[in-house]
Amino acid sequence: MTETQTLVLDAPTSKSGTDARDVLRAVLRAPLQARTGKQLAYIFTVFVIGVLAIGYLFVGFGGGLYASIVLIGIPVLALVVLGGRIWGKVYRALARDLLDTPVDGPPPYVSQPGFLGFLKSAFTDRASWRAILFLFAQAVLGVVGGYFVLITVVVTVFTALSPIPWVLFDPINVDDNGVEHHSLAQFGSFYIETWPRVLLMSAVGIIGCLALPWLLRAVCWIHGLLTVALLSATARDRQLVELQASRRAAVEDSAATLRRVERDLHDGTQARLVTIAMALGRAEERLAAGNDARDLIADAHANAKEGLTELRELVRGIHPPALELGLEPALETLASRCAVPVQLRVHLPQRPNPAIEAIAYFSVAELLTNVVKHANATSAWVSVLPTDARTIAVSVRDNGIGGVLQPMDGEYAAGSGLSGLAARARAVDGTLTVQSPTGGPTVVTILLPMAGPR
């Protein structure tokens, strides 16, 4: 019992000792890490270009406002504001390369046509004004703050190396009584003039060097926060980019649908109509000659029936007739035709927007096709349930092999079925998520607004 208690008491001590060694190792290694050098280079660089930025703001805005008396200063001010975007690119590049903090930039600047349109676009460009605000902040943080940080670094390193200049240059200080002191520094009447005092001063400098990396990290952390806050794309910018991408995807999807319909009509229905026309023409010639044409008429009738079937399938691919009755009947029809047994659960307190119903229907159709082709599944489950009063969740699950490739940077591979479904969902402010561990199961969930995009 005593041995067991000893083991229990010794375990925390061992862990505490390991943690202490890890902390000590991190402190000793910090000054030699590449990260510290990059952060020091960043602070020095933003100090230098911060001085240039202050000149840019003073000359640009000061000169522009002064020249506005004769109106020429107004376009100058517009160019100064837009110049903030260039400064933003510089600072984002520094944050990426020296702070290992990649920052997504705002959408490209787009000017309205005409001179007045250019002025309006420039003075209302939010990204440019945020960059200008960042430059003003850098006047304090980058220049003033950077100056004190750099001075601290220089003084600390000099203190750590103080025995070297003390020996090499033999500095002499003379006190008020005319007494010479072989001293590198003094604090009041206390002179650093003996080896113990010099080594003590150097030790203080070495301890300061061990603390410097953490000062650099704190200052660069503030820089990173400021960069992300003022130079990154806002939620509104990202929503605009996603909206543009979803609209582009919707246009491409519509164009692809039109090409498919044209191809199906040309290769299928049109060819059958030509065959029917030729058969009826030959039948007409036979009848005119008094011969029997019943076989040709029967062939034309059969081709007409097959053409009608193809047209129904084509129309169903554009807008399934079952959707006229609602999403649940349409999905029931879809599930009954699937090669894999499908269990369907639909509970909608109210009927969604027709566009949302169409997106949900075609998304389930695409996902069930993927289940049949790629999942090696024996069963599938489809559910359409409300998550709140304004959103529905369309979920397709299978018991297949899983292993669906996850998106890179939030995007699925271009041209893949999932990328098309994700783009279709984004077009109406929806989202698509995939859970597919190796071995399965695979669950694809699409959140869609009940009433369409806001």
The verdict on residue 8 lying in a domain is no
From the CB of residue 171, how many other CB atoms can be counted at a distance below 10 Å? 14
The verdict on residue 41 lying in a domain is yes
Residue type, 442: T
Asked if residue 381 and residue 285 are part of one domain, the reply reads no
- Among candidate residues 300, 318, 336, the one where a domain is terminated: 318
The verdict on residue 374 lying in a domain is yes
* 3-7, 75-79, 190-194, 411-415: range with lowest mean pLDDT: 3-7
From the CB of residue 316, how many other CB atoms can be counted at a distance below 10 Å? 14
Asked if residue 225 and residue 197 are part of one domain, the reply reads yes
Distance (Å, rounded) from C-alpha 228 to C-alpha 396? 37
Tokens 């750590």, located at residue:
160
CA angle 244, 247, 251 (to 5 degrees): 140
Asked if residue 312 and residue 248 are part of one domain, the reply reads yes
Asked if pLDDT for residue 453 goes beyond 50, the answer is yes
Gyration radius of the chain's alpha carbons:
37
What average pLDDT does the segment 430-454 reach? 85
- Among candidate residues 207, 231, 255, the one where a domain is terminated: 231
Q: Are 303 and 279 in contact (CB under 8 A)?
A: yes
Q: What is the pLDDT of residue 425?
A: 85
Asked if residue 300 and residue 445 are part of one domain, the reply reads no
Asked if residue 245 and residue 219 are part of one domain, the reply reads no
Q: What is the pLDDT of residue 196?
A: 87
Asked if residue 205 and residue 104 are part of one domain, the reply reads yes
The verdict on residue 260 lying in a domain is yes
Q: Of 338, 334, 399, nearest to 346 (Cα)?
A: 334
Asked if pLDDT for residue 185 goes beyond 90, the answer is no
DSSP 341: -
| Number of compact structural domains in the chain | 3
* 183-187, 333-337, 404-408: range with lowest mean pLDDT: 404-408
**Tens-digit pLDDT profile for residues 295-342:** 878 887 887 877 777 776 666 556 667 778 888 888 998 888 888 899
The verdict on residue 336 lying in a domain is yes
Q: Is 153 helix (H, G, I), strand (E, B) or coil?
A: helix
* 6-10, 212-216, 406-410: range with lowest mean pLDDT: 6-10
Q: What is the pLDDT of residue 3?
A: 40
Asked if residue 328 and residue 308 are part of one domain, the reply reads no
Domain that includes residue 438, residue range: 323-449
Asked if pLDDT for residue 293 goes beyond 90, the answer is no
Asked if residue 337 and residue 390 are part of one domain, the reply reads yes
Asked if residue 415 and residue 304 are part of one domain, the reply reads no
Model-wide pTM > 0.85 = no
Q: Are 93 and 133 in contact (CB under 8 A)?
A: no
Q: What is the pLDDT of residue 88?
A: 93
The verdict on residue 284 lying in a domain is yes
Question: 82 vs 405, which has greater pLDDT?
Answer: 82
Asked if pLDDT for residue 8 goes beyond 50, the answer is no
Where residue 360 sits, what CATH number does that domain have?
3.30.565.10
CA angle 244, 245, 248 (to 5 degrees): 85
**Tens-digit pLDDT profile for residues 233-273:** 887 777 666 666 666 665 566 666 667 666 766 666 677 77
Asked if residue 444 and residue 359 are part of one domain, the reply reads yes
* Band of residue 413 on the pLDDT scale cut at 50, 70, 90: very low
Residues 6+ apart with CB under 8 A from 161: 202, 205
Q: What is the pLDDT of residue 248?
A: 63
**Tens-digit pLDDT profile for residues 136-148:** 999 889 999 999 9
**Tens-digit pLDDT profile for residues 44-69:** 999 999 999 999 999 988 888 878 77
Q: What is the pLDDT of residue 9?
A: 39
From the CB of residue 208, how many other CB atoms can be counted at a distance below 10 Å? 17
Distance (Å, rounded) from C-alpha 307 to C-alpha 39? 72
- Among candidate residues 279, 295, 318, the one where a domain is terminated: 318
**Tens-digit pLDDT profile for residues 13-41:** 455 666 778 777 877 787 888 888 999 99
* Residue 391 β-bridge partners: 449
Q: What is the pLDDT of residue 1?
A: 41
Asked if residue 297 and residue 330 are part of one domain, the reply reads no
